[in-house]
Structure 1
Amino acid sequence: MTTILAGTICNPLIRRGIDLCRLYRRAASAVNEPGLRAVLEEDAQTLAAVIADVQHEVEQAGGEPRTRGSWRAALRWRLFETMAHAGTRRDSTWIRELAQDEAALLRAFERAIAGLPEAFAKGLRRQLPRLRGIHLDMHELASHARS
């Protein structure tokens, strides 16, 4: 049962995390503002650590963790990069996209935790402070991008 839970609950979270981490890295290389670039790179590193920890939890449970993101995300990023380059407020466009995807990942973690028995939710629950830290960064950046 542990392996099934690890695979059906954690692997989709890992895939989403990998996809978002790659988007953070692409955004960090595409934005104009050096301070924003530094924040995005730091958040990408934090997210990579979260992913690695969840992968480790899956391995400890006897499962096979995902190591790759989705092919759909790669297509979506290319489309998004094209739209961001065409826009006049490139940095704001990246921030809006990242904030939306980051909030969705946080909600997915929270839903997964709520639906798991405590023994299985403990590993995911340890990741929430880091994910919430990224969420606060993106919320702050998004509020500045709107003004």
Structure 2
Amino acid sequence: MLPRPQTAICNALIRRSIDLLLLYRRAAAGCEPGLRMVLGENVHTLQLLIADLQEQLRAGGVGPRDHGSWRGVVHRHVTGWLVRIVARRDGAWIRALSHHESALLHAFEQAIECMPVESALVLRRQMPRLRGIHLDMHSLAGSARY
């Protein structure tokens, strides 16, 4: 079983991941079909990441979080409102998602640094998934500038 502070860190990462997943879903609902497909793939990757983290906590005898944070709700609504007022909505969604994705990647990296090696192993296994999303969003953000 993970010690309480490490459980809290994992649950916080789960909540942030759920927040990002819901933001991706909202963005995909209003984007063109090609971008919607890419965002859908990232949603699927985040679902796998969240399920894996939740399962790890359950295996340790801890009840994992299954919903996002109130901040995520606010971010989704504010971002949706801001995107509606810009001319290039797809580009605005890409930049917003890229920003939140980078923040999630950074949160995982910080959590890995502050956790003991054995506990951080669970998070390290998720890094390839997060880096894959990061590369997708980075390349999309680069092309959305034009």
Taking structure 2 as the reference length, what is the TM-score of the superposition?
Answer: 0.95
Distance between the aligned counterparts of 1:66 and 1:35, measured in 2?
32
Calculate percent identity across the aligned residue pairs.
Answer: 51
Query: After alignment, is 58-67 or 123-132 more displaced?
Result: 58-67
Distance between the aligned counterparts of 2:6 and 2:60, measured in 1?
7
Whether contact under 8 Å (2:6, 2:115) holds in the other structure is no
CA RMSD of aligned residues (A): 1.2
Letter in 2 for 1:102: E
Whether contact under 8 Å (1:7, 1:64) holds in the other structure is no
Matches within 5 A, 1:1-147: 2-31=2-31, 33-147=32-146
- Any unmatched runs of 5+ in structure 1? none
Letter in 2 for 1:48: Q
Whether contact under 8 Å (1:3, 1:61) holds in the other structure is no
Whether contact under 8 Å (1:6, 1:63) holds in the other structure is no
Segments of 4+ moved more than 4 angstroms: none
CA drift of 1:145 comes to 0.6
Letter in 1 for 2:135: L
Query: How many residues end up aligned between the 2 structures?
Result: 146
- Any unmatched runs of 5+ in structure 2? none
Taking structure 1 as the reference length, what is the TM-score of the superposition?
Answer: 0.94
